[in-house]
Chains A and B, each alone.
Chain A
């Protein structure tokens, strides 16, 4: 046997090993807490950031879509679910003439069947670079006008700027890449309206006469003036054109505040659960520790007889608790990481909210905070027991064991 240092640490570890079931259950409780808090906060932060950037950059106050497609438009916007819906393009001029409308810009949605760049279907969005204010805030390069034959791609489409992508048999140069939006934009491809119409014509995509495609658009993004509420303008728009054009509206303010409300419930659930688990872990550990201290009195007396000071015994108990706290916290963090990182895309898809990935630095900081909080539960729970050890009387204990 190597002359291993015969330390407090080893003795504390030894004590835990001797009661594997007890140690594992206590560590499991701490792990549950660490898991909840870590997974919950990461989730929250991701969503919160997605929401913040959405609220900040979503240039449109109002989205006009064909009747019955408001949900689909939201899904396309938030999750990038490819969808196709059309209304007459002539509406655009009428919208622009409405009082209080500052800017209005059309989009044309087209779901691609395949693309060299991507494994799944992508949403192709044709837009009007001249009047656009919906796409531009997210683009890094080519803030100027997009030209025919060029595309801008969402952040999660894996291509390099300057490269080429073939869509429906037509080659496009990638003129720019968007910043991460956390929305459906991330998996979309943007091109000029004329190019989209060109694709439709060439591939015969639309029902009816493909040559007529340019008489249709999918949505109109509206930016309202400061003196008009988007709601009032929406009402006016519906009053004037709802019957002729069969319209629906998406108020983007509502979109954001809806998400914010859902986010709030996620975060309060996280905090409540974490608080419950933490308190529970603390309580159970405190009870288990103080009961085992009782059952261990003879053993502790022997340590005292052999020359261990009271504080040495207290430290041993604290150390055992620290091991449980830190061990449990690490298990919980690991479990959360194993679940969150590989499956984050699926998780967020299921939640269906815009999200932005936290930086690794931030994730590490959260992990450390959770580790600290969970690790502290152990020593906190054992303080009473550790103190009671420093007070207990050896003699009667020894006699009991006779």
Chain B
């Protein structure tokens, strides 16, 4: 088991009252598994992913990665863990505008002490993701689909065991979204586990799907069928 989440809860304040953005959530994810997380806007997807990435501390519950409690680590250790084991594609535009495409991709390699170079690996990724010709470009010159590919390449830079993607094909046209889906499928085929928050049905076909509503996972056994039924419309 790669990831195990038990009784996870995160509360926020909205005006006067507190509410749980993620509520008593349990989740298991095997090595190399592809899991899609569906849910309406505001259902708690990003909050959950950020907790898994070690970016926000849950109010209660535990997250075990490879059997190690994420929040039993101190911040520097958790940061180093994230850099090494996790690739995160945040929601929205997340490239650094003053770095070239190639440098954006290489960056994660250099944020923690390492020996060796990053160039070869970064080049390999750009080839694989079909963005070699963009290496010298800057993010402002890229299309939405190209930006997503660069962000994906950057998430893969340190060969993570789990890639978290927050709406990777959100505002892409159908064709580009399909390309992104097949890309993720290829990468998953090499053994990297994926946890993807999305509204894209295409991605749902790649693996197990979960549905989140009001911070809770819906009945997991039936979630897939429920969704398929509701999506026939």
**Interface positions of A (Cβ within 8 A of B):** 1, 3, 6-7, 11, 14-15, 17-18, 299, 302-312, 393-395, 398-399, 401-402
Within 8 Å CB of B99, what residues of A?
A: 11, 14
B154 at the interface (CB under 8 A from A): yes
B106 at the interface (CB under 8 A from A): yes
For the complex of A and B, 4 pairs with smallest distance between CB atoms: A307-B83, A6-B110, A18-B98, A308-B111
Within 8 Å CB of B108, what residues of A?
A: 306-307
Q: B98 to A306, Cβ gap below 8 A?
A: no
Ordered by A's residue number, 7 sampled pairs between the chains whose C-beta atoms are within 8 Å are A6-B106, A14-B99, A302-B96, A307-B80, A393-B56, A395-B47, A401-B93
How far, in angstroms, from A402 to B91 measured CA to CA in the complex? Answer: 7
How far, in angstroms, from A401 to B97 measured CA to CA in the complex? Answer: 14
- Interface-located stretch among B60-68, B112-120, B192-200, B202-210: B112-120
Within 8 Å CB of A302, what residues of B?
A: 90, 94, 96
Interface size class of B (residues with CB under 8 A): 35 or more
Within 8 Å CB of A393, what residues of B?
A: 56
Query: What is the distance, in angstroms, from A390's C-beta to the closest C-beta of chain B?
Result: 9
B46 at the interface (CB under 8 A from A): yes
Which A residue sits closest to B103, measured CB to CB? A6
Which B residue sits closest to A1, measured CB to CB? B102
Q: A15 to B98, Cβ gap below 8 A?
A: yes
Most buried by A among B75, B90, B93: B90
Within 8 Å CB of B83, what residues of A?
A: 306-308
Within 8 Å CB of A311, what residues of B?
A: 76
Within 8 Å CB of A7, what residues of B?
A: 110
Instruction: Identify which of B56, B75, B98, B119 contacts A395 (C-beta below 8 A).
Output: B56
How far, in angstroms, from A15 to B98 measured CA to CA in the complex? Answer: 7
Q: B55 to A307, Cβ gap below 8 A?
A: no
Within 8 Å CB of A310, what residues of B?
A: 75-76, 79
B147 at the interface (CB under 8 A from A): no
B38 at the interface (CB under 8 A from A): no
Which B residue sits closest to A299, measured CB to CB? B96
Q: B112 to A307, Cβ gap below 8 A?
A: yes
B107 at the interface (CB under 8 A from A): yes
Within 8 Å CB of B94, what residues of A?
A: 302, 305
Q: A307 to B111, Cβ gap below 8 A?
A: yes
Q: A399 to B109, Cβ gap below 8 A?
A: no
Query: What is the distance, in angstroms, from A209's C-beta to the closest C-beta of chain B?
Result: 86
B189 at the interface (CB under 8 A from A): no
Instruction: Identify which of A14, A303, A307, A401 contacts B98 (C-beta below 8 A).
Output: A14
B227 at the interface (CB under 8 A from A): no
How far, in angstroms, from A3 to B123 measured CA to CA in the complex? Answer: 12
- Asked, given contacts A310-B75, A398-B90, A401-B92, whether A303 binds B110 with beta carbons under 8 Å apart, the answer is no
Which B residue sits closest to A311, measured CB to CB? B76
Which A residue sits closest to B50, measured CB to CB? A395
Query: What is the distance, in angstroms, from A19's C-beta to the closest C-beta of chain B?
Result: 9
B53 at the interface (CB under 8 A from A): yes
Most buried by A among B50, B75, B94, B117: B94
Q: B107 to A402, Cβ gap below 8 A?
A: no
Within 8 Å CB of A309, what residues of B?
A: 75-76, 79-80, 111-112
State which residues 33-51 of B face A: CB under 8 Å.
46-47, 50
- Asked, given contacts A302-B90, A308-B111, whether A399 binds B96 with beta carbons under 8 Å apart, the answer is no
Query: What is the distance, in angstroms, from A118's C-beta to the closest C-beta of chain B?
Result: 60
- Asked, given contacts A3-B119, A6-B118, A310-B75, whether A305 binds B106 with beta carbons under 8 Å apart, the answer is no
Query: What is the distance, in angstroms, from A317's C-beta to the closest C-beta of chain B?
Result: 15
Within 8 Å CB of B102, what residues of A?
A: 1
Q: A312 to B88, Cβ gap below 8 A?
A: no
How far, in angstroms, from A228 to B9 measured CA to CA in the complex? Answer: 96
Within 8 Å CB of B46, what residues of A?
A: 398-399, 402
Within 8 Å CB of B117, what residues of A?
A: 3
Within 8 Å CB of A304, what residues of B?
A: 55, 79
Instruction: Identify which of B92, B109, B136 contacts A402 (C-beta below 8 A).
Output: B92
- Asked, given contacts A305-B90, A307-B79, whether A312 binds B111 with beta carbons under 8 Å apart, the answer is yes
Query: What is the distance, in angstroms, from B93's C-beta to the closest C-beta of chain A?
Result: 8
Scoring B residues 107 to 140 as 1 if CB is less than 8 Å from chain A, else 0, what string do you get? 1111110000111000000000000000010000
B4 at the interface (CB under 8 A from A): no
Within 8 Å CB of B154, what residues of A?
A: 306
How far, in angstroms, from A334 to B230 measured CA to CA in the complex? Answer: 73
Within 8 Å CB of A299, what residues of B?
A: 96-97
Query: What is the distance, in angstroms, from A195's C-beta to the closest C-beta of chain B?
Result: 76
How far, in angstroms, from A312 to B108 measured CA to CA in the complex? Answer: 13
- Asked, given contacts A3-B119, A395-B50, A401-B92, whether A305 binds B111 with beta carbons under 8 Å apart, the answer is no
